[in-house]
Structure 1
Amino acid sequence: MPARLVVLVSGSGTNLQAILDAAADPAYGAQVVAVGADRDDIEGLARAERAGVPTFVAKVSDYTSREHWDRALADKVAAFEPDLVVLAGFMKLVGESFLGAFGGRTVNTHPALSPSFPGMHGPRDALDYGVKVTGATLFVVDAGVDTGAIVAQTVVPVEDDDTVESLHERIKVGERSMLVESVGRMAREGFAVEGRRVRLGG
């Protein structure tokens, strides 16, 4: 049986589309069983609907507190019984309830080489610092900001004439490839989180 993936998105869903395309091949070993979002009317949800994948929305503003939203999000995800939850451009931090349910099997990407340049502006911060290489990191989500155990990393050179936008676009290409390859391996081979280390084939 293919591994069951729930993918959470907040925007255009290009990483989601890459996973949907890969999962169309049975050899990939994973199937997207639902796509969730924190807002309505986004292209990520439209991509899921065109692919015939069920969708759901959990907007923070619809709940009385962030904790209530976090519990509701966890419940909505749990209804689809995922083996792995993929945050693909999901712009909200999940909390205690969500991690209680899906900690250790939720992954996210960050457009920098962790632990350098965490937070919202990884490409800009890398460029400002003057690094010669940056990249993207796939990690197991924990309670921190981009601090989880690292599953995979990909390196992107910084060019002398890069802008934040040009650098970020190249990072996104590497990030997407890394995400698709790594999620497929996690689905097919299994994985184990041992402290700061993630071992594929576990």
Structure 2
Amino acid sequence: MSLDLAVLVSGRGSNLQALVDAIGDGQLDARIVGVFCDRANAPAVERARSAGLATQVVAPRGFATRLEHDAALFDAIDARKPDLIVCAGYMRLIGEREVQARRGRLVNIHPSLLPAFKGLHTHAQAVAAGVAEHGASVHYVTPDLDGGPVIAQARVPVQPGDDAETLARRVLAREHPLLVRTLQLIAQGRIALRDERVQLDGRPLATPLQLAANQRFP
């Protein structure tokens, strides 16, 4: 089946662009029904508009509380009737009420091998911790920060002399195919969330799917 996607962004929009390109190339059976951003000057906004996508900025500045902002944002998203909501570099926490109402329909890509290095500055965290591997994860969103069930991951070796910037570049190159391929599995009906566990082809995953370089998922 084809997925109708709503995409949430805050920054450059490189993962958004990866989705646009994958849809255009036939690698992802989906269409983007709306792009939503919390920052009017984010490069992702111009990227989305250049691609001809319906784009809406819902900035928090005009709302008294985070709950009010979340409600307005998700009212706008729901009006587009997406099958799946993708946080692709969206940098704001989403409140429990909105998350719970869309459980199993809200996914995020996070630049670490969860559960390691939740939150911000993950590449600097990885370098400081001296880990041998870093990477990216796609997970279902729950009220816990970066704590939802992990669907799939891509691993990146940490090389001698790496700093946060060099490591970030290599991870980003793996994020894009990881997100596209994970969403394609969802579009094919092969991935679902049941009883708080990720299922592949109707069977619970013991561990997240691993995407190695130049490798496709099952």
The residue that corresponds to 1:128 in the other structure is 128
- Deviation sequence 1:141-175 (CA, Å, 0-9, x none): 00011100001011000001101110111111111
Instruction: Report runs of 4+ in structure 1 exceeding 4 Å deviation.
Output: none
Kindly indicate whether the alpha-carbon contact (under 8 Å) linking 2:28 and 2:183 is maintained by their aligned counterparts in 1.
no
Deviation at 1:25, TM superposition (A): 3.7
Identity across matched positions, percent: 40
Task: Report what 1:165 is aligned to.
Answer: 165
Distance 1:201 1:152 in 2: 14
Which deviates the most, 85-94 or 37-46?
37-46
**Conserved in 1, the CA contact under 8 Å of 2:100 and 2:143?**
no
Work out whether residues 152 and 182 of structure 2, in 8 Å CA contact, stay in contact via their aligned partners in 1. Answer: yes
Q: Given residue 66 of structure 1, which amino acid in structure 2 is its aligned partner?
A: R
Residue 101 of structure 2 corresponds to which residue in structure 1?
101
What is the CA-CA distance between 1:196 and the residue it aligns to? 4.9
**1:20 positional shift:** 0.5
Task: Provide the residue aligned with 1:3 in structure 2.
Answer: 3
Contact 1:37 1:58 in 2 (8 A): yes
CA–CA separation in structure 2 for the residues paired with 1:77 and 1:42: 19
Question: Does the Cα contact within 8 Å between 1:70 and 1:94 map onto a contact in 2?
Answer: yes
Offset of residue 26 of structure 1: 4.5
User: What is the aligned partner in structure 1 of residue 72 from structure 2?
Assistant: 72
Aligned to 2:206: none
Is 1:50 aligned to 2:57, yes or no? no
**Residue correspondence of structure 1 range 27-46 to structure 2 within 5 A:** 28-46=28-46
Which aligned pairs between 1:129-168 and structure 2 lie closer than 5 A?
Answer: 129-168=129-168
Q: Which has the higher helix share?
A: 1
Matches within 5 A, 1:163-202: 163-202=163-202
CA deviation after TM superposition for structure 1 residue 195, in Å:
4.2
The answer to whether 1:92 aligns with 2:92 is: yes
Name the stretch that deviates more: 153-162 or 116-125.
116-125
The question of 1:60 aligning with 2:60 is answered yes
* 8 A Cα contact 2:2 2:29, kept in partner: yes
Cα RMSD of the aligned pairs, angstroms, is 1.5
* Aligned mates of 2:105, 2:178 — CA distance in 1: 17
Equivalences for residues 106-121 of structure 1 within 5 A = 106-121=106-121
Distance 1:93 1:6, change over 3 A: same
- The answer on whether the counterparts of 1:4 and 1:30 sit within 8 Å (CA) in structure 2 is yes
| Structure 2 residue identity aligned to 1:98 | E
- Separation of aligned partners in 2, 1:97 and 1:71: 9
Higher deviation after alignment, 85-94 or 119-128: 119-128
Q: What amino acid sits opposite 1:104 in the alignment?
A: G
Q: What TM-score, normalized to structure 1? A: 0.94
* CA–CA separation in structure 2 for the residues paired with 1:6 and 1:173: 22
Q: Distance in 1 between matches of 2:102 and 2:162?
A: 38
Residue ranges of structure 2 left out of the alignment (5+ in a row): 203-218
Shift of 1:189: 2.5
Q: For 1:28-54, what per-residue CA distance to the aligned partner results, in whole angstroms no more than 9, with x for missing partners?
A: 211111100001032211111111110
What secondary structure sits across from 2:188 in the alignment? helix
**Change in CA separation of 1:37 and 1:198 when aligned onto 2, cut-off 3 Å:** same
